[in-house]
A and B are shown apart, each in its own frame.
Chain A
Amino acid sequence: MKPGLLDNRDFLAGLLFAAFGAGGFWVALAYPFGDLQQMGPGFFPRALGLILVGFGLVTMVRGLRSGVPVEGAWGWFPLAMLTAAIVAFGWLMEHVGLIPSLVVLVVASAYAGKEFRWLEVAILAGVMCAMAAGIFIWGLGLPYPLFAFEFGR
């Protein structure tokens, strides 16, 4: 029993490669190609894009033939949670300072785990804030405020 296309490991990988290749090629069309003697900035990315599309197609065909499914379930929840935590950290750093950003990062990312205990996470957040402030702000002298409120700019 072969898996469906959306569960076919190599078909999906090939599709991803081909998409990257095609995308790279398409964007690079805007850059001058030059010629072999005077390679323009568009030469290398276009060649790479085509090669990547080729690898992608080969991988897709092989996936259809072998039909190996994706191993294990997708961890969409931890992936989404961690990504959200990281993005939130980046945005908060520019607006509310280091400490609140770190607290949000630690709590949100810990929530992605299998076990979540409030007390533990609170202690972890505290320790992380102290360590980050110690290493990055006092140790390395990075110019970030611990707390800030900068939404106006």
Chain B
Amino acid sequence: MDVLSNLALGFGVALTLKNLAYCFLGVFLGTLIGVLPGIGPLVTIAMLLPITFGLDPVSSLIMLAGIFYGAQYGGSTTAILVNMPGEVSSAVTAIDGYQMARQGRAGPALATAAMASFVGGILSTLLVAFFGPLVGRWALEFGAAEYFSLMLMGLVFSAVLSHGDLVKALAMVAIGLLLGIVGTDVTSGLPRFSFGIPELLDGVGFTVVAVGLFAVSEIVLNLARNEKVEVFAKDVKNLMPTWADMKAAAMPTLRGTALGSFFGALPGITASVAAFSAYMLEKKLAKDPSRFGHGAIEGVAAPEAANNAAAQTHFIPTLTLGIPASAVMALMLGALTMQGIQPGPQVMTSKPELFWGLVASMFVGNTLLLILNLPLVGLWARLTQVPYRWLFPAILVFACVGNFSLNNSAMDVYLCAGIGVLGYVFAKLDCQPAPLILGYVLGPMLEENLRRALLMSEGSFAVFVTRPISLAFLVVTALILLAMVLPGLRRRRESAVEASAG
């Protein structure tokens, strides 16, 4: 079996002492920082990215992936205990998890979240192992036109599924694309939007954008906001869920995994959408839907499984097509690019140890996560009580030293401050940063593929609609946009987004 021998290769890579250590370190650091209130996976990854640059590509990707699912799990812990989710996808967990905690059942809620994440993670990693290569092989037939259409689809998806106004989200994509142009043009060698600043010749550093957009602006938002939260950290005892709890959580976990795996594989659809649909599905299937919102264990298991499943299958489009499925994946791609690896279908054939090592490390990492979390829950619970006034200067320290270390120059730090201001203004004006970062990462590839497609078609745009795969992507994109413009569907989406944000 092809997959088995490849997995064997992967485990050979992932189980070396060095990579095992990095996987553990990533999961541990990710959970440690992700559990701190108000710090989501994006900020955690953006902050810790510079630490991984010194590693070889495989180790750094393994560590980053560990940080990612560690941070995601940590975020769920915070969501359950403090009702202060670090990102939208944990917000769904917070609805019933926080209620469980208020009823003194924080322990079972945390344990259910950990086990649902584990099941979701392991099953969906199997899917990555089987479908990743298929998608990769299929993608080898893609030409420039297909890539352009696919990226367009991913960008439109990300805009459609972000919160709030569609036009504003599309505009954010466009700003991201413009930001991605900064630097030396690959074809002509002409520096663009660099304004004579040497640090900009290589483009705006991508940790600079990520930290400015997600960390700095988020801190200002938090500081300008006044709210007191009730913490249930002291109540964490009786960790193990009862047999009845386990039985109630089993099917929702599997259903959540299925939904999450499916949504995660589509570019541009974020884990929050997966988590929210899993939650809604359980509510529909439940005999007594009124329990939801008042501490239903299904409402913790399903979104957590979906969340983590989507987190793993996100890697399918990211690694096989080079198209990030979410803002976090955009960070992963950026990290790969900084390691000198051009993401795309050729990665799987030219660097099998990277793809399979990562897949194997997902099994290892999810297991480590479970082993780490069940006994350490008490420690994590205490960490959620760290006051924010200690946290945000620490975030800034890591962010600033990290950015300074990119080029050993203050310019990147100044840029980060500027982008932070911009990010804050955007956030206040209700413009979502996620579409921007996707646009920023995809920008150079989008332009390059457009240019190549038009070069080969001798300047005719017909190439995008005469090639069947490209046409299919464009038709899907058009349908999605059309669906958004039709009023009935639009209203439903708004209420869905509101519910998932609450």
A residues with CB within 8 A of B: 9-10, 12-13, 16-17, 20-21, 24, 27-28, 31-32, 35-41, 43-45, 48-49, 51-52, 55-56, 58-59, 62, 70-75, 78-79, 82-83, 85-87, 89-91, 93-94, 98, 102, 105-106, 109-110, 112-116, 120-121, 124, 128, 131-132, 135-136, 140-143
Contacts and interface: CB of A to CB of B under 8 A. Distances in A.
Interface residues of B, number: 66
Contacts of A89: 400, 404, 413
Given A39-B451, A74-B428, A86-B396, A55 B167 contact: yes
Interface in B420-473: 420-421, 424-426, 428-431, 447, 450-451, 454-455, 458-461
Contact of B459 (A35, A72, A91, A109): A35
Given A9-B429, A38-B455, 14 more contacts: A21-B174, A39-B447, A45-B193, A55-B168, A62-B165, A75-B224, A79-B224, A82-B396, A86-B417, A90-B414, A91-B410, A94-B409, A98-B401, A136-B405
B interface secondary structure, majority? helix
B428 A70 contact: yes
A87 B430 CA distance: 26
A113 B222 CA distance: 9
A133 to B, nearest CB: 10
A12 B425 CA distance: 10
Contacts of B35: none
B458 A51 contact: no
B175 interface: yes
Contacts of A45: 178, 181, 192-193
Interface string B282-308: 000000000000000000000000000
B413 A86 contact: yes
Interface string B66-110: 000000000000000000000000000000000000000000000
Contact of B175 (A17, A44, A105, A128): A17
B482 interface: no
Nearest to A58: B167
19 contacts: A10-B429, A13-B431, A20-B175, A24-B178, A32-B188, A37-B458, A41-B188, A44-B451, A45-B193, A49-B178, A52-B178, A55-B170, A75-B224, A79-B220, A86-B420, A94-B409, A105-B400, A106-B393, A140-B405
Contact of A140 (B51, B226, B393): B51
A91 B412 CA distance: 11
A10 to B, nearest CB: 7
A110 B460 CA distance: 57
Interface of A is mostly: helix
A73 B167 contact: no
A35 B460 CA distance: 11
Contact of A90 (B170, B389, B410): B410
A55 B174 contact: yes
